[in-house]
Structure 1
């Protein structure tokens, strides 16, 4: 699947808000309002995961090359994935929620 096909707008399955495609060269994989995602990938962008559970934001980690990343945990199967924080785009991630996650995990 090419990047244009991966970078699509969607309606969040957790909060119901409309989420626009990223405009910063990356692709959207979580809601900027509630930070929830969906368990849709086995490998980034492949959309081959059959679980389709909600991915709840549970923490924030720092990657030396990617910067801040949200840590998501699937509420259905328990799988964990890290996703880059969306910034410098039309809908940046909710930094108040990110700060709450950072406080909770002492980052």
Structure 2
């Protein structure tokens, strides 16, 4: 069964400032320490167990599958194409609004 990181108590965050090239669209992304996904296509790589720890062995491509809004903040849900892990990530002003809106109304895994 796919795992999820939905607001678990005691979750730790490790801030890492890292640039990367998106494996899905090829865009070069400048990290700011909180960057989790490509702002153009909303894809990322499954590298974390806890946000920022780089402890996941999977390395699969995390694909956006849904989006929503909670407490006046938008989020995108990604699912790993290799292991099925799902993760919810906050969006930022850098994210392509049209891309985020494409995923609104889709079922959110785990709800």
Q: TM-score range by the shorter chain?
A: 0.7 to 0.9
Q: Do residues 38 (structure 1) and 52 (structure 2) align?
A: no
Instruction: Report the alpha carbon displacement of residue 84 of structure 1 after superposing the two structures with TM.
Output: 0.8
Report what 1:82 is aligned to: 88
Higher helix residue share:
1
Question: Given that residues 66 and 105 in structure 2 are in contact (C-alpha distance below 8 angstroms), is that contact kept between their aligned partners in structure 1?
Answer: no
Task: Show the counterpart of 1:49.
Answer: 56
SS at match of 2:103: helix
1:7 aligns to what? 17
1:66-97 residue CA offsets vs partner (Å, 9 max, x unmatched): x211100000011100011022xxxx101101
Aligned to 1:59: 66
Q: Which runs of 5+ in 2 are unaligned?
A: 1-12
Aligned equivalent of 2:76: 70
Q: Give the alignment's Cα RMSD to 1 decimal.
A: 2.1
**Number of equivalent positions:** 96
